[in-house]
Structures are given as C-alpha cells and as structure tokens.
C-alpha cells in the first residue's frame, strides 16, 4: 500500500544496511534521495536498479508535492539520505512533514545513526544526551550557542563537518572546563575509525598530532556539566532575583 518509508542507510560500512532496508528498497517504486549519484552507488552495490528523484535541502517542498501525488496513486516511496538516518541533521524532515499533513502513511526503517553509534562506544554515561548536531559555522554564533550549553548536564552530541574540527575544539576549549571528558568518534564504521576519549585540555594536541585527523567525519561528545554547577547557577539566579526585587 501507499507508504513513505524513511530508510536509514550505512554511515560508512556498507554491510551495516539492514535486511529490512534492502527489502523496502527492493519493493519501492521510487527512491527519493539527497544525491542520486551516491544512492546510485549503494543501490548498484546490492543489485538494485530503481528510479531515483533528488530531494535535497533546496527542493524539498516541490519534491514533497510530487511524492504526495505518487503516494496518492498507490506507490511506495523510499526516502534516504547520503548516509545514516534521514531527516536528522539531513534533508527529509520537510517531506515527512508534508506527507503526514496529507494524511498519508509514514513508516521508519531504522538503522545507522552517527550520534547513537558514537554514544554507544564512548564509555560516557549517556542516560541523557542533548543532540546539538552541527554548530553554526560563524565563530560568534558558535560561541553563543556553546555558552548556552555550558550548564547542560546531559552529554552533548555535536556533528562536525570535515575541515572544521580544529575550530570546533578551540571553541569548546574557550567555553567548557578543561577537565571535561570529550570523545572524538571519527570515521565510524570505516577503515580508519578512531574513537578517542580525553580531557578537553588535551583535545587540541590530539587532533593536531596526526594531520589525517583534520579530515574525515567526526561526532564530538562532551561530558555534561557536573550537577552541582547547575545548582550554583540556580543559586546565583535566586540571589539575582532578590537583588533585582530590592532595586525595583
Ligand atoms: N543523518 C546522519 C546520521 O544519521 O548520523 C548524519 C548526517 S550529517 C549531514 C553528517 C555528519 O554526521 C558528519 O559531519 C559527522 O558529524 C556525522 N557522521 C556521519 N557519518 C559519520 C561517520 N562515519 N563517522 C563519524 N561521524 C559521522
């Protein structure tokens, strides 16, 4: 029946594709993808020859309309991104939103996600985590956003684009305590996978110690603030409120 399947694909190691994802790709009438070339490689790898439509950041709304028409005609549509889970720091959310609004059926087909993969092997206690995704590219905005996260007690999960890891570490070091644990999860599931945990004060030296580390895809995890820090802030805010009340 007419369904939009939101299909996770591998984040590196192609054998991480799930059996269900393969089945859904096999029965789909069309595959909506971020980049037809990249998805084409994946489909070919598994012997699938499918019609693809490009659905990227800039045309998601128009594509959504076309896909809704096809769903209404009874077709099955698979939505994928270049890697990992679509619609999370990736295109796809607008399509899912429009298809849901149209009252049509949406089914997730779970699989790899860089965030969860990194958390699982980090050794940090991740009962709670705060998904930050990509930080703003502009230094000022990045600093403001990090400053707002300083008291967050959950583990922070940051996605970093290749080539920006040094800027990212410098920005983290400017805001957080030097003793916070950080975990770098680089090239997950790929040949040069590295998962390194250290204190923030040693992070820049680690990144710079090997020039390969300035490339590749990273998930950066930052240990949350100690709960006490939060209480200190709450106390400061309480006193501020008293003082402000006195002044008025
Ligand atoms: N939707 C994807 C997911 O489910 O994880 C994320 C896509 S986002 C555009 C790309 C970012 O995810 C990269 O810049 C990096 O932070 C992270 N990422 C994706 N694949 C990775 C990998 N193999 N190793 C480390 N980080 C990865």
Kindly report, residue by residue over 40-86, the tens digit of the pLDDT.
Answer: 999 999 999 999 999 988 899 999 999 999 999 999 999 999 999 99
User: 11: CA distance to ligand 1 center in Å?
Assistant: 7
- pLDDT tens figures, 148-202: 999 999 999 999 987 899 999 999 999 999 999 999 999 999 999 999 999 999 9
pTM: 0.90
Cβ(81) to ligand 1 under 6 A?
yes
Cβ(114) to ligand 1 under 6 A?
yes
User: 114: CA distance to ligand 1 center in Å?
Assistant: 5
Q: Which of 30-44, 97-111, 213-227 is least confident?
A: 213-227
User: 231: CA distance to ligand 1 center in Å?
Assistant: 34
Cβ(129) to ligand 1 under 6 A?
no
Cβ(34) to ligand 1 under 6 A?
no
User: 90: CA distance to ligand 1 center in Å?
Assistant: 9
Cβ(84) to ligand 1 under 6 A?
yes
User: 112: CA distance to ligand 1 center in Å?
Assistant: 10
User: 133: CA distance to ligand 1 center in Å?
Assistant: 9
**Both tokens assigned to 46:** 């598994």
Kindly indicate whether the ipTM for this predicted assembly is greater than 0.90, answering yes or no: yes
pLDDT of residue 187: 96
Which atom number of ligand 1 is nearest to the Cα of residue 133? 16
């Amino acid at each position: 029946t007419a369904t939009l399947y939101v299909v996770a694909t591998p984040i590196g190691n192609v054998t991480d594709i799930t059996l269900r994802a393969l089945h859904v790709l096999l029965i789909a009438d069309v595959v909506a993808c971020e980049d037809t070339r990249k998805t084409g490689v994946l489909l070919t790898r598994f012997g699938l020859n499918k019609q693809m439509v490009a659905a990227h950041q800039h045309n998601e709304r128009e594509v959504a309309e076309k896909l809704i028409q096809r769903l209404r005609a009874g077709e099955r549509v698979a939505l994928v991104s270049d890697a990992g889970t679509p619609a999370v720091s990736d295109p796809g959310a607008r399509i899912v939103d429009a298809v849901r609004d149209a009252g049509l059926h949406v089914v997730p087909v779970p699989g790899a996600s860089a965030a969860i993969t990194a958390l699982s092997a980090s050794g940090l206690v991740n009962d709670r985590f705060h998904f930050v995704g990509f930080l703003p590219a502009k230094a000022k905005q990045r600093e403001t956003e990090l400053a707002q996260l300083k008291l967050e007690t959950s583990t922070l999960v940051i996605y970093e684009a290749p080539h920006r890891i040094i800027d990212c570490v410098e920005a983290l070091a400017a805001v957080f305590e030097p003793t916070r644990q950080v975990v770098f999860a680089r090239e997950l599931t790929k040949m040069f996978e590295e998962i390194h945990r250290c204190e923030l004060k040693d992070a820049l030296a680690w990144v710079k110690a090997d020039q390969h580390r300035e490339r590749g895809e990273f998930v950066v995890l930052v240990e949350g603030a100690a709960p006490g820090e939060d209480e200190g802030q709450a106390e400061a805010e309480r006193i501020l409120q008293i003082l402000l009340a006195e002044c008025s």
